[in-house]
Amino acid sequence: DIQMTQSPSSLSASVGDRLTITCRASQGIRNDLGWYQQKPGKAPKRLIYAASSLQSGVPSRFSGSGSGTEFTLTISSLQPEDFATYYCLQHSSTPWTFGQGTKVEIK
């Protein structure tokens, strides 16, 4: 199985901050990776697909980059509605696997 190591597991940030979350794959996964945002009590919502493509309707402050084994999700200017938990998902090979999640909290 491909292991997805996501870091950090949590962080505190302020509105307006730039933040970066990283996922590392235990083996190369090309660009077969998505990023998801989950708010409490809600289903996850995809933000980024194919590692760097912005999902329709998602604000442009979200961006993704990377290929192979290292991937990043960047929020250029954190907004109040962005406080949530973020996950990566690799679908390069089965079983598809998620990162452990990054909880973004208000500082």
Partner 1 sequence: QVQLQESGPGLVQPSQTLSLTCTVSGGSISSGGSYWSWIRQHPGKGLEWIGYIFHSGDTYYTPSLKSRVTISADMSKSQFSLKLSSVTAADTAVYYCARDYGSPWGQGTLVTVSS
Site residues (vs partner 1, CB under 8 A): 1, 34, 36, 42-46, 49, 55, 87, 89, 91, 94-101
CA distance 54 to 35: 10
CA angle 71, 13, 53 (to 5 degrees): 30
Min dist. Cβ of residue 98 to partner 1 (A): 4
CA distance 100 to 30: 20
> Is the Cβ of residue 17 or residue 92 nearer to partner 1 in the bound state?
92
Tracing tokens 């919502």 back to the chain, one arrives at: 45
Min dist. Cβ of residue 87 to partner 1 (A): 6
Min dist. Cβ of residue 1 to partner 1 (A): 8
> Is the Cβ of residue 17 or residue 96 nearer to partner 1 in the bound state?
96
**CA-derived radius of gyration, the chain:** 13
